[in-house]
Chains A and B, each alone.
Chain A
Amino acid sequence: MNATTADRRSPRFAHSVALVAEREITTRLRSKSFLITTGILLLLVLGGVIAGGIMSKSVSTTPVAVVSSVSSELSNIPGLEITVVDNRTEAEALVTEGTVDAAVVPSEEGSTIPVTVIAASDAPSSLMQGLGVSPELILLDPSDTSYLLSYLAAFGFGIIFFASGMTFGPMIAQSVVEEKQTRIVEILMSAVPVSALMAGKVIGNSLLAFAQIIAIAVLAIVGLSVTGQAELLALLGAPLLWFVGFFIIGFILLAALFAAVGAMVSRQEDLGTTMTPVTMLIMLPYFAIIFLHDNPVALTIMSYVPFSAPVGMPMRLFLGTAEWWEPLISLAILVITAGLAILLGSRIYNNSLLKVGSRVSWAQAIKG
């Protein structure tokens, strides 16, 4: 049973990392709880997209006010619920109080275009497309890029980052503790460098998280276009791509920290205590984004703080309040922070992995 030289080679670092990562992934993919959680998350996204589609469709008639003199312009447009009013002032009043989505009024004298559309924040597409000549458009309150939509986007980005962080983070910590608790770690350490062990764990679990987030993004994009919500998609597309980018780096940052705190304890029961500071780093930005998403100053700050940037910056891009260079700077800050977290994390991991028994203190873990 002696192996020939072809059967074995001296393993390179990258090879060891890949093996560890592979085991992490296959173990996860076989765990029922992981598959179920992922399924539920995807169903939630799908459900949200479909619900959005149904809601936008169910309002099949768009309430429109029209000044009697130009009411003939609307005669051939389907799906409108027309309220005829006497003059422009009455029409504007109906738009302002929200009774109708838009008002069609005669253009001011001297204009080449016969009609003008007045809407609150955006004009209904069915109306705009139905009018033969593209009308003049007046938005009464253009700044109000729908509070509801921004809230939903904040909530969406936030909950995805939060859910992934809170699912995969503790999972990484647990798999580190498992190796410590079952003492297999000593055998592993005698076979591969400690840094390869940690890198494999972080990369393996991160890849799974990325696969999950990409599945969500694809599902959202496909779902939105299939259910005819292309407008929202156009609005969401670029921020969504940025979100994926920020998510990847932000997740690696968290993964390194979770691996490190996992190494500090010897039993699953003790994990809660050491994990708290890291879970706080996920929870606080999450709640901050949800509560402060309509506060421009707070959002600007949060879009640069590494732990909230993965949610904050895509939010600002979505709201259109960020310059083109801002996500790049924020991403750079995030990358540097992630690099530092990996250094700190592997230091803690190295120093703590063999210390069995009571919880390793932070001072001990960092100083060694």
Chain B
Amino acid sequence: MLQLDNITKSFGVRPALDGVTFAVRDGRMTGFVGGNGAGKTTTMRILLGVLNADAGEIHLDGKPLGAEQRRRFGYMPEERGLYPKMKVREQLVYLARLHGFTQAAAGRNADSLLEELGLGERRDSTLESLSLGNQQRAQIAASLVHEPEVLVLDEPFSGLDPLAVDTVVEALKQRAASGASVLFSSHQLEIVERLCDDLVIIADGSIRASGEREALRTQHSAPRYAIACSSDLGWLRGEPDITVVELDGGRATFDAAEPAAAQRVLRRALADGDVTSFSPQRASLAQIFREVI
């Protein structure tokens, strides 16, 4: 597990991060969400050791994070970049070797990764000759080629077409399933919502919310329920502990002061007729995001 504690960083007089604290758990996809300039990239750069924090500590599996352990990190910076005139496979091999792989092992990893990401046929093309989407795939490959135990990906999906998004999502999920910790940032909240197990929300350099996605959704949801049934629900307005939000014949949305009140409503509706649906309304990621920042 990767644990950040009270990371603080300022550029000159401008504070960038203020007491950033959160955890990235093993085998899980952690979404890192925040507006432009919220501090995502700075946090990631500090994680990778590209920038130094002014204060705060980072631990990996309980030990202070050092350069040695960072070699096992995979990083995809916000600003994409590989050597334009170098062949795709060659750059992957070079990067893997920089991370300590032997030539042979680096070659094997590069080959299987290129197949996996659908770049097998372009392995000997220079990067600049690839389409933009394929360049993005190559970039992902560059962050995965040394079998990292921790993946830090800054906006990995930006600029990808939907097909490539699926390929990349699949690749990341597989890494998480085999035990890697994956931290990724994104502006595309629906992808984050679909993909992440855990969620970290940052705004103005401080963490506004973090934890399991479902727990966060529950925590940030009003105790709101939607019900649809065959009979008229006009009686809801008179129920104690119930606040009607919307009412239209057999359909209603209401807030319950306590779960028991909602169950009482369900029983009454069942007594009156057939209930076609009854569901607690969970906050979407976009709602949580707007609420906390």
Interface size on A, residues (CB 8 A): 31
CA distance A7 to B146 in the complex (A): 11
- Determine if B99 and A186 form an interchain contact, defined as CB atoms under 8 angstroms apart: no
Known contacts A8-B101, A19-B94, A186 near B71 by CB under 8 Å: no
Interface string of B89-133 (1 = CB under 8 A from A): 000001101111110110011001000000000000000000000
CB of B51 within 8 A of chain A?
yes
- Determine if A187 and B95 form an interchain contact, defined as CB atoms under 8 angstroms apart: yes
CA distance A191 to B77 in the complex (A): 13
CB of A192 within 8 A of chain B?
yes
Q: Quick one: closest A residue to B82, CB to CB?
A: A184
Q: Quick one: closest B residue to A6, CB to CB?
A: B102
Interface string of B141-176 (1 = CB under 8 A from A): 011001100000000000000000000000000000
CB of A27 within 8 A of chain B?
yes
Q: Quick one: closest B residue to A356, CB to CB?
A: B79
Interface string of A60-99 (1 = CB under 8 A from B): 0000000000000000000000000000000000000000
- Determine if A191 and B51 form an interchain contact, defined as CB atoms under 8 angstroms apart: no
- Determine if B105 and A3 form an interchain contact, defined as CB atoms under 8 angstroms apart: yes
- Determine if B98 and A2 form an interchain contact, defined as CB atoms under 8 angstroms apart: no
Interface string of B223-245 (1 = CB under 8 A from A): 00000000000000000000000
- Determine if A182 and B71 form an interchain contact, defined as CB atoms under 8 angstroms apart: no
| Range class of the B interface residue count | 35 or more
CA distance A2 to B101 in the complex (A): 12
Interface string of A223-264 (1 = CB under 8 A from B): 000000000000000000000000000000000000000000
Contact of B68 among A10, A178, A188, A190 (CB under 8 A): A10
CB of B191 within 8 A of chain A?
no
CB of A367 within 8 A of chain B?
no
Across-interface contacts of A57 in B (CB, < 8 A): none
Give the distance to chain B from A25, nearest Cβ to Cβ, in Å: 13
Give the distance to chain A from B2, nearest Cβ to Cβ, in Å: 14
Across-interface contacts of A11 in B (CB, < 8 A): 71, 98-100
CA distance A354 to B80 in the complex (A): 14
Across-interface contacts of B146 in A (CB, < 8 A): 8
CB of B48 within 8 A of chain A?
yes
CA distance A318 to B185 in the complex (A): 65
CA distance A171 to B94 in the complex (A): 21
Across-interface contacts of A186 in B (CB, < 8 A): 45, 48, 50, 75, 77, 79, 81
CB of B70 within 8 A of chain A?
yes
Which residues 54-83 of B have a CB within 8 angstroms of A? 67-68, 70-71, 73, 75, 77, 79-83
Known: A189-B48, A190-B49. 18 other contacts (CB 8 A): A3-B101, A7-B102, A8-B99, A8-B100, A8-B146, A11-B99, A182-B82, A183-B79, A183-B81, A186-B48, A186-B75, A186-B79, A187-B77, A188-B98, A189-B49, A192-B98, A354-B50, A354-B51
Jot down 5 A-B pairs with beta carbons below 8 A, ordered by A.
A9-B100, A11-B98, A179-B81, A186-B50, A189-B48
